[in-house]
């Protein structure tokens, strides 16, 4: 266009709305797979839990901790991962859109790059992708409440899904399975599992607890390394045993 050279960049930059996340708060970026209900079905994930798919998620999360040193802890379940950034991080000057987009795009790239390592025999048809959001938590107590909320959610969903898929695999339609579970409490679900000879607490811990990723000292070398554990992060004992995570 005519006169394009006269347009000053400052004029266009003045339209940019920058949202910076509050200083001295823990930033949590939670990513979640988009349309994974369909993605799981298309790729024949085992139901209710495909262990390889969870391990792929964990491996991607571990890469993020290696590449972004300011991520100090991550918790994952199903198609989601929460990344906790240290409270004094100045990554991207704490600009939300840059932090979230970098985390989401790196995670999606890693997921595609590592796919073959976990599913050597499978080729996906639709590209997997994730969305993300950021939230600031102003105290370690509230941050731990947030993480506990995700882990409780993991338990509730896993218990429900385990029952649901047992009913479906025993011949019920999905609608029948859904309606027979409607309004049931933990106790009734445990009784249902018992009827199928399943002790909930005997299920693999990765399904029941989700996955926590953090840096831990390697006693042999004295260096820090990224570890993936499946443990209760609701209990304060985890945080007492790993005081360096939240200092
Ligand atoms: P949205 O785009 O809104 O997030 P979604 O289809 O991804 O939609 P979610 O609520 O995120 O819905 O649920 C994730 C779905 O993916 C659930 O159906 C869950 O059972 C399934 N899923 C995720 N990971 C696994 C896994 N490792 N094994 C089996 N199923 C999985
Ligand atoms: P940042 O992470 O801050 O964005 P950057 O290294 O990506 O750092 P940019 O300012 O985005 O820096 O610049 C992109 C760089 O990539 C430039 O050096 C540019 O020359 C190079 N580059 C991008 N696309 C091409 C291309 N198609 N051919 C050659 N060089 C390219
Ligand atoms: Mg979503
Ligand atoms: Mg999803
Ligand atoms: Mg989800
Ligand atoms: Mg840039």
The complex's ipTM?
0.93
d(CA 168, CA 121): 26
- Closest atom of ligand 1 relative to the 37 alpha carbon: 6
d(CA 65, CA 54): 17
The average confidence (pLDDT) of the chain is 96
What's the rounded mean pLDDT across residues 84-101?
98
- Closest atom of ligand 1 relative to the 57 alpha carbon: 27
Ramachandran class of 82: left when φ > 0, alpha when ψ lies in -120 to 50, beta otherwise: beta
Pocket test for ligand 1, best of 30, 31, 33 (most atoms within 8 A of CB): 33
Answer whether residue 18 shows pLDDT above 90: no
> What pLDDT, on a 0 to 100 scale, did the predictor assign at position 97?
97
C-alpha 16: how far from chain center: 30
Answer whether residue 3 shows pLDDT above 80: no
Query: Does residue 189 contact residue 160 with C-beta atoms inside 8 Å?
Result: yes
What's the rounded mean pLDDT across residues 205-231?
96
> What pLDDT, on a 0 to 100 scale, did the predictor assign at position 215?
96
How does strand 26-33 pair with strand 130-137?
A: antiparallel
What's the rounded mean pLDDT across residues 93-106?
98
In the chain, the largest separation of any two C-alpha atoms, in whole Å, equals: 78
> What pLDDT, on a 0 to 100 scale, did the predictor assign at position 4?
80
Q: What pLDDT band is residue 142 in, cutting at 50, 70 and 90?
A: very high
For 153-223, list the strands marked E by DSSP: 211-217
Residues with CB under 6 A from ligand 1: 32-37, 40, 45, 47, 49-50, 53-54, 78-79
Measuring CA to CA, which residue among 222, 30, 6 is closest to residue 107? 30
Answer whether residue 1 shows pLDDT above 70: no
* Residue 37 buriedness (CB in 10 A; 0-12 / 13-18 / 19+): exposed
What's the rounded mean pLDDT across residues 204-218?
96
Query: Does residue 103 contact residue 80 with C-beta atoms inside 8 Å?
Result: no
Closest ligand by atom to 210 CA: 1
d(CA 210, CA 233): 10
Q: Which residues surround ligand 4, an ion (CB under 5 A)?
A: 32-33, 36, 79
d(CA 70, CA 154): 25
Q: What pLDDT band is residue 247 in, cutting at 50, 70 and 90?
A: confident
Nearest protein Cα to ligand 1, atom 31? 78
- Closest atom of ligand 1 relative to the 33 alpha carbon: 7
Answer whether residue 132 shows pLDDT above 90: yes
Tracing tokens 């409780």 back to the chain, one arrives at 152
Q: Summarize pLDDT for 143-188 with one digit per residue, the tens.
A: 999 999 999 999 999 999 999 999 999 999 999 999 999 999 999 9
Answer whether residue 110 shows pLDDT above 80: yes
Distance 47 CA to ligand 6 centre (A): 40
Distance 34 CA to ligand 1 centre (A): 8
> What pLDDT, on a 0 to 100 scale, did the predictor assign at position 117?
98
What's the rounded mean pLDDT across residues 24-43?
98
Backbone angles phi, psi at 100, to 5 degrees: -65, -45
> What pLDDT, on a 0 to 100 scale, did the predictor assign at position 2?
63
Distance 13 CA to ligand 2 centre (A): 20
Q: What pLDDT band is residue 63 in, cutting at 50, 70 and 90?
A: very high
What's the rounded mean pLDDT across residues 77-101?
98
d(CA 68, CA 55): 20
């Amino acid at each position: 266009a005519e006169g394009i050279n006269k347009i000053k960049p400052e004029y266009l930059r003045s339209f940019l709305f920058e949202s910076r996340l509050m200083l001295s708060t823990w930033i949590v970026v939670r990513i979640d797979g988009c349309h994974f209900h369909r993605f799981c079905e298309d790729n024949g994930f085992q139901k209710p839990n495909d262990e390889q798919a969870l391990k792929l998620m964990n491996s991607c999360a571990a890469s993020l901790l290696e590449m972004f040193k300011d991520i100090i802890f991550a918790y994952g379940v199903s198609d989601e991962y929460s990344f906790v950034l240290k409270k004094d991080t100045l990554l991207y000057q704490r600009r939300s859109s840059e932090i979230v987009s970098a985390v989401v795009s790196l995670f999606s790239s890693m997921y595609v790059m590592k796919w073959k390592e976990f599913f050597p025999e499978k080729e996906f048809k639709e590209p997997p992708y994730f969305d993300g959001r950021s939230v600031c938590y102003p105290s370690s107590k509230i941050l731990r409440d947030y993480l506990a909320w995700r882990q409780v959610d993991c338990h509730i969903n896993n218990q429900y899904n385990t029952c649901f898929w047992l009913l479906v695999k025993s011949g019920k339609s999905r609608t029948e399975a859904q309606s027979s579970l409607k309004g049931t409490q933990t106790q009734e679900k445990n009784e249902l599992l018992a009827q199928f000879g399943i002790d909930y607490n005997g299920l693999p811990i990765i399904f029941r607890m989700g996955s926590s990723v953090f840096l831990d000292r390697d006693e042999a070398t004295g260096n820090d390394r990224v570890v993936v554990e499946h443990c209760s992060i609701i209990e304060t004992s985890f945080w007492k045993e790993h005081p360096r995570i939240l200092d």
